[in-house]
Copies of this chain bind each other. A is one copy, B any other.
């Protein structure tokens, strides 16, 4: 093989590795934006993390379909009351499996609330999360998120199985 062809093959291999790494880091950073968006009451920013018709199931309370319903949850009385009283939606870095232009993942979400009387926070929820993401022409977006409390319900903990 000519020297230049050999080098080109090396570069192509490297480019594939860089693309894999970019996918991982971009999805980590996509998920890292959810908490800050909802805890600052930024409904449009939260909704924009999803694809146009992405879904978000907060089991069993709420099934959201599409960006408008996700923004509506953030702007709704329930969520607004939560953040006015002091609240943090703390998500962990997911385990991510990329397959071409789609990816799936598993992680945790903590819902932590302020108790002014006790001068401390309390853990309202610790939830299993499953994710589906899709590569769009611009970047990765969430196409499906399911959030279900780890309260001993067998189906919820099984969401975390590989």
Give A residues with C-beta under 8 Å from B: 3-4, 7-8, 10-11, 14-15, 17-18, 21-22, 24-25, 28-29, 32-33, 35-37, 39-42, 45, 83-88, 90-96, 106-108, 110, 112, 114, 116, 120-126, 128, 149-153, 157-162
Contacts and interface: CB of A to CB of B under 8 A. Distances in A.
Contacts of A116: 151-152
A17 B37 CA distance: 26
Contacts of A157: 39-41, 83
A22 to B, nearest CB: 6
A37 B90 contact: no
Interface of A is mostly: mixed
A92 B95 contact: no
11 contacts: A3-B4, A24-B29, A35-B92, A37-B160, A39-B160, A86-B152, A87-B150, A88-B128, A112-B123, A112-B126, A123-B123
A126 B90 contact: yes
A32 to B, nearest CB: 4
Contacts of A112: 110, 123, 126
